């Protein structure tokens, strides 16, 4: 029975009476598989048409948003010996609380009166500075007095020189008068002698003319002697003036030399004073480093150098701390190929170690136990591991990150990208193409950071 006619008679045939009909019919399981296969193909087609959120996955760890909020170690500023601990591991302390007390191990700082003695040296040097200043002022006053005295002495000697010069002029006039008188007396004597020889005048008158001639000659000699004496006095006055000027100039030069030496010593003392003040300030600051205090509110995490009596070097770590107040963030490392797809404000979903989660990487809205964040910083240089570091902070106040989350915990980040059909994502992955890039909405407010602008590309 080919059953090709439109007038079928199957309904009139009792198939249960014939064994061949039971052996030729398909089993029910085969029919069920057909429908299952068709349903599966339909479901796959539906799934391929569903939207898929492209993403970049990376592992990272929890850190802090601000550098000063990250775990750090406290170092010893000076070399010393541990004398006493004031804290224990795990203890919460406030800013300025004492952590450990150190004592000196260098012999130049053993003196317990070091600050007082250095302060006394500073005071003594300050007194020496005052003495040098007063000495320089006294020498300056002495120099000024000698200059005034030189001026007065010069005026006095110049007056004497002028007076002596006038005497020389007067004496020259007297000498000239005496010579004229001598000439007249000589002329009168010769005339009287002529008249006497002729017998006109008596001998007494001739003798009188001779006596007068002798007197005038004596006056000429006396005037010449006096003139020479006055000229000598002029030369002496000039020499006195020159000698006095040289004497006072030498005294002034010597006083100025001594004054300059005093000023030089004053400058040396001032340099020594500044050096002593610097030393005193260094000693004072060093005494403050005996007590190592907390730089901020923090927890003592680990004591690096625990023993009493142990010595530490300058800059050696003593204790590690964790700040009490911090803003959490996650640092992730992404491949250079994915770097162009990451920009500031990009949403990232996280799975933190220790917190259960049920995720669909392509359908983040259906995931459970994930936490949201956004990219706030991207490194401009590649890290030693060959990837680029990004920093992600919380961005959903309605669902904050767990309060029990600690710095250093592991985290898996899923950076959400564009939404595409599922079939397109399958095709992209089969061909090894990168995810699609899109720009997030500009109305999203960017977080305010204290980091330098250069470290966060715009």
* CB distance 132 to 269 below 8 Å: yes
Q: Indicate whether 53 pLDDT > 50.
A: yes
* Cut 0.75: pTM above it: no
For the chain, domain boundaries: 50-69+326-455, 72-97+294-321, 114-288
Using CA atoms, how far apart are residues 266 and 256, in angstroms rounded to an integer? 15
Q: Is residue 419 classed as helix, strand or coil in its secondary structure? A: strand
**Predicted pLDDT of residue 367:** 62
Mean pLDDT comparison of 34-38, 200-204, 307-311, 431-435, highest-scoring range: 307-311
**Predicted pLDDT of residue 180:** 86
**Predicted pLDDT of residue 74:** 93
CATH of domain 50-69+326-455: 2.40.30.170
CA distances, 207 to each of 87, 180, 196, 257 (Å)? 138, 20, 10, 74
Q: pLDDT, tens digit, for every residue of 94-130?
A: 999 999 999 999 888 888 888 899 999 999 988 988 8
* CB distance 62 to 405 below 8 Å: yes
Using CA atoms, how far apart are residues 440 and 417, in angstroms rounded to an integer? 9
Q: Which CATH architecture has domain 114-288?
A: Orthogonal Bundle (1.10)
Q: Which CATH class is domain 72-97+294-321?
A: mainly beta
């Amino acid at each position: 029975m080919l059953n090709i006619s439109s007038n079928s008679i199957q309904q009139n045939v009792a198939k249960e009476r014939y064994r061949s009909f039971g052996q030729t019919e398909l089993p029910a399981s085969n029919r069920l598989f057909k429908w299952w296969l068709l349903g599966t193909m339909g479901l796959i087609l539906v799934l391929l048409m569903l939207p898929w959120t492209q993403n970049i996955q990376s592992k990272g760890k929890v850190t802090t948003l601000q550098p000063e909020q990250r775990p750090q170690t406290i170092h010893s500023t000076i070399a010393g010996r541990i004398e006493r601990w004031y804290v224990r591991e795990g203890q919460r302390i406030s800013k300025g609380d004492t952590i450990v007390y150190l004592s000196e191990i260098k012999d130049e700082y053993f003196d317990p009166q070091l600050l007082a003695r250095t302060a006394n040296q500073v005071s003594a040097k300050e007194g020496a500075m005052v003495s040098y200043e007063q000495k320089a002022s006294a020498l300056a006053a002495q120099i000024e007095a000698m200059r005034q005295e030189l001026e007065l002495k010069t005026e006095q000697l110049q007056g004497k020189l002028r007076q002596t010069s006038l005497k020389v002029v007067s004496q020259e006039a007297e000498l000239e008068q005496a010579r004229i008188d001598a000439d007249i007396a000589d002329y009168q004597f010769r005339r009287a002698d002529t008249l006497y020889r002729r017998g006109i005048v008596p001998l007494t008158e001739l003798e009188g003319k001779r006596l007068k001639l002798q007197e005038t000659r004596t006056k000429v000699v006396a005037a010449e002697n006096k003139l020479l004496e006055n000229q000598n006095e002029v030369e002496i006055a000039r020499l006195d003036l020159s000698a006095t000027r040289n004497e006072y100039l030498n005294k002034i030069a010597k006083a100025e030399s001594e004054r300059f030496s005093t000023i030089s010593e004053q400058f040396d003392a001032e340099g020594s004073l500044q050096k002593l003040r610097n030393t005193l300030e260094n000693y004072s600051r060093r005494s403050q480093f005996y007590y190592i205090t907390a730089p901020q509110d923090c927890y003592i995490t680990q004591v690096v150098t625990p023993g009493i009596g142990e010595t530490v070097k300058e800059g050696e770590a003593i204790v590690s701390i964790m700040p009490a107040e911090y803003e959490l963030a996650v640092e992730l490392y992404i491949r250079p190929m994915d770097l162009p797809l990451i920009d500031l404000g990009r949403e990232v979903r996280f799975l933190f170690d220790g917190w259960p989660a049920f995720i669909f990487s392509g359908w983040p809205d259906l995931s459970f136990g994930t936490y949201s964040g956004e990219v706030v910083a991207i490194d401009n240089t590649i890290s030693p591991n060959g990837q680029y570091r990004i920093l992600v902070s919380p961005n959903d106040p309605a669902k904050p990150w767990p309060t029990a989350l600690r710095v250093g915990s592991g985290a898996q980040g899923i950076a959400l990208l564009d939404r595409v059909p599922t079939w397109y994502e399958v095709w992209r992955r089969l061909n090894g193409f990168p995810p699609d890039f899109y720009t997030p909405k500009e109305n999203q407010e960017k977080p305010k950071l204290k980091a330098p602008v250069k470290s966060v590309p715009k």
